[in-house]
Amino acid sequence: MKKLSNMMLAAVAAAAIATPAMAWDFGATGSAEATFNQTTTKASESAKAVVSGGFASDAGAITLKSSNTDGDHSATLTYALDWDGNLDEVWTLSGSTKSGKWTASASIDYNNDEGAQTAQDAPAITLTDGSMTIIMGNAGHLSNARKGADGTAAGRVTMLGTGEANGGYDYDIGAVVDSFQGISVGMAVDANTTVTAAYQNQSAGSIMGVQGAADGETSYSASGFGLSVAADVGASVALTFGSGSTKSAIDGQDNSTTYSTMGLGVSMDLGSAVPALTYATTAMTSNKAEGEHKITAMELSVTAPVGDDSVVFNYSNAVHNDGTNSGAQTGIELGYGTTVGAVALSVGYGSTTVANEDAVAAVNAKGYTMSDIEVKMAYSF
């Protein structure tokens, strides 16, 4: 299989370079980063502080890309090698075709790494005339509505769920939505406002692509509805709401899980600084196990230019409630970014603290603290 893929890659490269009459453009990209990190963690009130970190480096994907435009039709073929616990070898073909006022587009990809691709790819088809956009299939139909910026060091908290009962997710503060099978229709209400409505219905999978069955369902379907609004009213505003439920596919079993999420983000470019605020909630309940988990979170950030450089401050807080008890995580990040030639250099400090008197499962133990100092150099070529 590896030999076959190498032969195919060579053929693509040869065709792109040796046949200019076909108007295929060819390019190669890659990236690398090097970091210095020092993290101090205290797991609980009674635990000793543990210091870890040091120098490290990481490589991004090696990407070969060949693209072609022929009248109203365009296509791009990409081959990427990347490591995310194993070596991924991904082929992607995306294309678009314009017919009249409508443009259709889609993208398919397959991972050629042995065992990594376990099923047919699940793409989406997009159809747009510039003012209306219809997407059908497996896609990120809804925005998470987050507005904000953060530094290079760890510290900022997230919308974190652990275990089957509350999804096992870890997402940025905002509406906790991901890709799901469904349809969405986006409309430009005016030059400054876009509204998108999405409907989910799939025979297996998670609500909004996030929340799995929490009520003991072994075979179930998921359905849901969501709405996203993006507007520029002097400030940039984004709002997303999504909700849905699972339904058991086994006769006589009425187990079900319900889930809802909301995110509201606002930012404003003042010239001298860009303040941003995001507020978000999630709620999960199950009718048989009587499980419940709610998250209420907010994130405030300010980004300011310093000459050609920038500084950023980020404050975040997330409160988890299991129906009876609650626990909270709070994070702070401060970052500075600049460039040295072609290298992006960033320096940051971050910290996380936990208040969890009631030992809520999704939150670290009472007295948990973490502080992080990080320096990162990044280069793309």
Which of 53, 146, 19 is CA-nearest to residue 373?
53
Which positions ≥6 away from 79 have C-beta within 8 Å? 9, 12, 63, 64, 65, 89, 90, 91, 92
The span from the CA of 269 to the CA of 253, in Å, is 53
Q: Give Cα separations from 258 to 286, 287, 362 (angstroms).
A: 6, 8, 18
Which of 282, 288, 228, 301 is CA-nearest to residue 257?
288
Which of 193, 194, 188, 258 is CA-nearest to residue 220?
258
Q: Any idea which residue has 């980063």 for tokens?
A: 33
Average pLDDT of the segment spanning 31-36: 97
The span from the CA of 231 to the CA of 239, in Å, is 9
Q: Are β-strands 236-248 and 257-267 bridged in parallel, bridged antiparallel, or unpaired?
A: antiparallel
| DSSP one-letter string for 223-270 | EEEEEEEEEESSSEEEEEEEEEEEEE-STT----EEEEEEEEEEE---
Give tens-digit pLDDT for 137-152. 999 999 999 999 999 9
pLDDT at 21: 45
pLDDT at 115: 64
The span from the CA of 163 to the CA of 74, in Å, is 43
How many CA within 13 A on the CB side of residue 367? 8
Give tens-digit pLDDT for 93-128. 999 999 999 999 999 998 887 666 677 888 999 999
For residue 164, what pLDDT band results from cuts at 50, 70 and 90?
very low
Domains along the chain?
Answer: 1-29+62-121 (3.10.450)
What is the average pLDDT value for the chain, to the nearest integer? Answer: 88
The span from the CA of 122 to the CA of 119, in Å, is 9
The span from the CA of 368 to the CA of 357, in Å, is 11
Give tens-digit pLDDT for 331-380. 999 999 999 999 999 999 999 999 988 888 778 888 999 999 999 999 99
User: In the structure encoding, which two tokens stand for residue 27, read together?
Assistant: 């390019």
Average pLDDT of the segment spanning 285-294: 76
Region of 266 on the Ramachandran plot (φ > 0 left; ψ -120 to 50 alpha; else beta): beta
Average pLDDT of the segment spanning 196-209: 92
- Is residue 132 within 8 A of residue 147, CB to CB? The reply is no
pLDDT at 19: 47
- pTM summary value: 0.88
When comparing pLDDT for 143 and 169, which is higher? Answer: 143
